[in-house]
Amino acid sequence: MVEFVETGGSKSIRVRGRCDNHHSQELKGSTGGHNIQSERTKATKEERSSRRCIPIGCLAVALKQAMSPGFKAYAKQVKANAAALGNYLISKGYRLLTGGTDNHLLLWDLRPLVFTDFEKVCEACNVTVNRNPVFGDSSAVSPGGVRIGSPAITSRGLVEKDFEGIGELLDRAVRITFNIQKQYGKLLKDFNKGLEHNKEIEELKDDVEKFASSFDMPG
């Protein structure tokens, strides 16, 4: 029997009588899982090399990193960075579900802004955002929420003041979205016209690239 449980960034799979499997987005690396079985099993070569098995090596590296002396400081910085970004967005008048965050995630309520329009602006500026339904949404395809996590960016050495800089870039993307909606409308086919040859988008894209290139990639 398999039981799948998800809470926040952590997912657990319990195969009763055989194994306990857990993986978490808080690990400093790719998420994945491992399967421990007491009985002998036969598997084909294809099954052994399937996508369910390949992540085990990545997970092993992440678990080793979690045992390193610096991981505790990293985990504290992850939480501090998420809080810094959340506080910055709140200071700009935005609403966060639960009024903030005490972990590595924050859920940003963008309503009445249309998420798909905001996503298009962000993509044009080389920014990736994750959609997330919030209470009262009628569609999961175009929800009113944005989910933001701090672990991956923290791995590049960013601290609180840098996350405030990220908040400033996101705030600019919101204002650009509103400007385009006001001029062209909210319907995506109309909104897309405002993305072309947009000076504000070009300036934000340049600033995003300059900001991102100032931090080293881990590894």
Report pLDDT for 208.
97
| Angle, vertex CA 106, rays to CA 219 and CA 51, nearest 5 | 45
pLDDT at 64: 85
Q: So what's the pLDDT on residue 7?
A: 42
Give the pLDDT score at 85. Answer: 97
Q: For the chain, which ranges sit under pLDDT 50?
A: 1-23
User: Which pLDDT value is given to residue 181?
Assistant: 94
What ranges do the domains of the chain cover?
A: 2-66, 71-213
Q: What integer pLDDT is reported at residue 177 of this predicted model? A: 96
Task: Say which CATH architecture domain 71-213 belongs to.
Answer: Alpha-Beta Complex (3.90)
Distance CA 217, CA 219 (A): 7
Alpha-carbon distance values, 10 to 22, 115, 161, 215 (Å): 8, 25, 27, 27
Contact present, 37 and 53 (Cβ < 8 Å)? no
Q: What was the pLDDT predicted at 19?
A: 47
What's the pLDDT score for residue 59? 77
Query: What is the spatial distance between Cα 217 and Cα 16, in angstroms, rounded to a whole number?
Result: 40
- pTM of the predicted model over 0.85: no
Q: Note whether 88 and 168 are within 8 A (CB).
A: yes
